[in-house]
Amino acid sequence: YHADRFPGQSMRASTLKGLIIHTADDIGVPGPDYRYGWGLMNTRAAAEVIALQADHAEFHTLTEGRLTSAEGSDTHSFHWNGTDPIRVTLCWTDPAGPSTTAHDSRTPRLVNDLNLRVTGPDGATYLPFVMPYVGDWSNGQLQAAAVTGINTVDNVEQVLIAAPPQWGLYTVTIDHAGSLTNDEQDYSLII
């Protein structure tokens, strides 16, 4: 469908992955979890996002960008419609990390640590989901709902504002912690 709507253009792997996660129907505890992941794939919703981008490019629903060491952050702004929840998903194909032969290694393998945050018109900052098991390796955490915060272990980050408190201009900021391998990182953003 993407090829039909955007002839001659190919979708990045990170865009496809981000789109599937972004449009999944949440099941289980709210947000990503260890039982259902990001939820149940919703192909129709994914196609609707592609159609929205094709029909209204000015909305920047699907954005493929790049951070570099010289320009370490990007911002994207959008007006909230006053009705729907706000969901922003960032995904990137991380460079290969160090290999391991250890069983059940809990050492993070993320190479390029991108960060996502959304700032509302009132200045409030919204952070992405973080799985509760990270850092607290107890079995009880496997059933817990995701929390929000700084995610340092995943190459997918998602901010969900279920009931945005204010109509107006929201700003998405993407930056990185530490250095970037090869001084750059491509990313995909779905709003």
Q: What is the pLDDT of residues 57-99, one digit of tens each?
A: 988 899 999 999 999 999 999 998 888 899 999 999 999 988 8
**CB distance 174 to 66 below 8 Å:** no
Q: How far apart, in whole angstroms, are the C-alpha atoms of residue 75 and residue 118? A: 10
Q: How far apart, in whole angstroms, are the C-alpha atoms of residue 171 and residue 111? A: 26
Q: Which of 113, 76, 75, 91 minimizes the C-alpha distance to 24?
A: 91
Q: Specify the pLDDT at position 35.
A: 87
Query: 138: pLDDT confidence band, cut at 50, 70 and 90?
Result: confident
Q: Specify the pLDDT at position 82.
A: 80
pTM of the entire predicted model: 0.94
Q: What is the pLDDT of residues 140-170, one digit of tens each?
A: 777 888 999 999 989 999 999 999 988 899 9
Q: Considering the chain, what is the average pLDDT of its residues?
A: 92
Query: 119: pLDDT confidence band, cut at 50, 70 and 90?
Result: very high
Instruction: Record the tokens describing residue 135, joined without a space.
Output: 């850092």
Q: What is the C-alpha radius of gyration for the chain, rounded to an integer number of angstroms?
A: 17
